[in-house]
Amino acid sequence: MIVLNKLNDPQLGREMFRIVKEQAGQVAERLGRAVTLMEVCGTHTMNITSTGLHGLLSGLVELRSGPGCPVCVTAAGEIEQMLAFTRVPRVTVATFGDMVRVPGLVSSLEMERARGARVQIVYSPADAVALARDNPTREVVFLGVGFETTAPLVALSINQAANLGLANFSVYSVHKLVPPVMRALLNAGEVRVDGFLLPGHVCAVTGSHAFAFIGEDYGIPAVVTGFTTVDILDALYVLLKKIHTGDNRVVNGYRWVVRDEGNLQAQEAMKDYFYTGDAFWRGFGVVNCSGLFIKEKFARYDAMRKFVLGEPDSTGGLDLVVQPANIAASKAGASGDCFTINNAAEPRGCRCGELLRGLITPEGCALFGRKCTPATPVGPCMVSAEGACAAYYRYGAAITN
Ligand code: SF4
């Protein structure tokens, strides 16, 4: 408790901010420009905007948001697939709340629910299993959206469904892996980033070593950090210092939670139930081996096989095939175990893709605060609690005319 109080101590925060600003000034002076830092975590984005850090450091540090919000990076085609599941008779779609209002091309889960579809918000994958157990006449499709943090829990939910002998539970897995998309971002070379704040909760599973390539291969420093203001200020200070001294190693600044090798048990759970394949990311397109898909031996729990690809379900599941016109789901690769899902068009005028690649901040989108607000979201970055547009709108200066 003393430690927690310390991490939220305003006086300590103010003193730390003074030191960070001083360090930022030295680095900016040496570079002859503002330092560009990227946070790759929606919770960090929320903290940075809610504390006003991005404004307070303006002119010295430019903070960009990367692909750190799992709802935001979910591809448009994947959202259309989720909507297609709601139209299957006897299916209940179970989802975390953030997905419900994400706009698809012409609809959303919320709109489908208003039209009579069964869309149930759950707070954990285990809740979705319980829903299936308690409703044996319905098929429950859980939308598996998230990064390394969520995937082990979803793996356990499949295990739980198997132990209960449930034949009416499946997962639409669009889980994504953060290290591959970081590599894709850096390989693209579109945005100059001087340093990264790395997501503490993802690193708790992957370990900080999973991100060592950022320093080793690209010569850019990065710091794994937690989620309090003091955590973030501390990480900013360390990062700025590393930029100043030219030390490019990745630092684990969240040692009380993150081990260098990560959570081995969680990694095993993921390996047991998922294989990695190419995945489509909003803003990035296909990123090699960046998605987690359910292994063949758990096919009966894979909503894609059960409904979309029409593979036989040995448990006697639904004899239905859903193939929305704008989705092309195909098997690829010699082993036949790698799916590629093609994307669909983005909402007109929405620049979420560029935002997720760090090319713009929300104010760079002409729709921000005008046509696109939390009440009338055009893109996912305005919907999700972890989305940069929602955070900037909530805590920044929204355009009101
Ligand atoms: S402001 Fe709205 S339309 Fe623009 S990038 Fe953000 S979510 Fe997309």
Top-level class of domain 1-396: alpha beta
Collapsing DSSP to helix, strand or coil, 145 comes out as coil
Question: What atom in ligand 1 is closest to the CA of residue 355?
Answer: 5
Cα of 102 vs centre of ligand 1, distance in Å, is 12
Q: Which of 303, 11, 344, 291 is nearest to 169 (CA)?
A: 303
Cα of 52 vs centre of ligand 1, distance in Å, is 20
Share of the chain above pLDDT 70, in %: 88
Contact criterion met (CB below 8 Å) for 66 and 38: yes
Residues 6+ apart with CB under 8 A from 257: 200, 204, 226
- Say which residue, 111 or 346, is predicted with more confidence: 111
pLDDT score at 304? 92
Q: Which of 163, 175, 171, 174 is nearest to 94 (CA)?
A: 171
Cα of 111 vs centre of ligand 1, distance in Å, is 20
For residues 255 and 277, what is the distance between their CA atoms, to the nearest angstrom? 30
Q: Which two tokens stand for residue 260?
A: 């260098």
pLDDT at 340 over 70: no
User: Within 6 Å (CB) of ligand 1, which residues are found?
Assistant: 350-352, 355, 362, 365, 367-368, 372, 378-379, 381-382, 389
> Could you read off the pLDDT of 63-79 as tens digits, one per residue?
999 999 999 999 988 99
pLDDT score at 308? 73
Share of the chain above pLDDT 90, in %: 76
pTM for the model stands at 0.88
Q: Which two tokens stand for residue 120?
A: 């149930």
The residue whose C-alpha atom lies closest to atom 7 belonging to ligand 1 is 379
Contact criterion met (CB below 8 Å) for 207 and 262: yes
Q: Which two tokens stand for residue 324?
A: 């929305």
pLDDT score at 12? 81
Query: Taking all residues of the chain, what is their mean pLDDT, rounded to a whole number?
Result: 87
pLDDT score at 396? 77
pLDDT at 2 over 70: no
pLDDT score at 229? 86
Sorted by where each begins, the domain ranges of the chain are 1-396
> Could you read off the pLDDT of 38-60 as tens digits, one per residue?
999 989 998 889 888 888 899 99
> Could you read off the pLDDT of 188-208 as tens digits, one per residue?
999 999 999 999 999 999 999
Mutate to test the pocket of ligand 1, among 108, 354, 365, 370 (most ligand atoms within 8 A of CB): 365
| Extended strands (E) in 244-320 | 250-252, 274-281, 285-294
pLDDT score at 8? 66
Residue 26 bridge partners (DSSP): none
For residues 354 and 363, what is the distance between their CA atoms, to the nearest angstrom? 12
Interaxial angle between packed helices 151-164 and 125-134, expressed in degrees from 0 to 180 and rounded to the nearest 10? 20
Cα of 120 vs centre of ligand 1, distance in Å, is 26
pLDDT score at 345? 66
Question: Hey, how many other C-beta atoms are within 10 angstroms of the C-beta on 399?
Answer: 13
Cα of 282 vs centre of ligand 1, distance in Å, is 13
For residues 338 and 276, what is the distance between their CA atoms, to the nearest angstrom? 8
Q: Which of 358, 21, 392, 20 is nearest to 193 (CA)?
A: 358
Mutate to test the pocket of ligand 1, among 102, 355, 357, 370 (most ligand atoms within 8 A of CB): 355
pLDDT score at 7? 56
- CA 224 centroid distance within chain: 16
Radius of gyration of the chain (CA): 21
Q: What is the b/e burial string over 338-368, where b = at least 16 CB atoms within 10 angstroms of the residue's CB?
A: bbbbebbebbeebbbbebbbbebbbeebebb
Cα of 183 vs centre of ligand 1, distance in Å, is 24
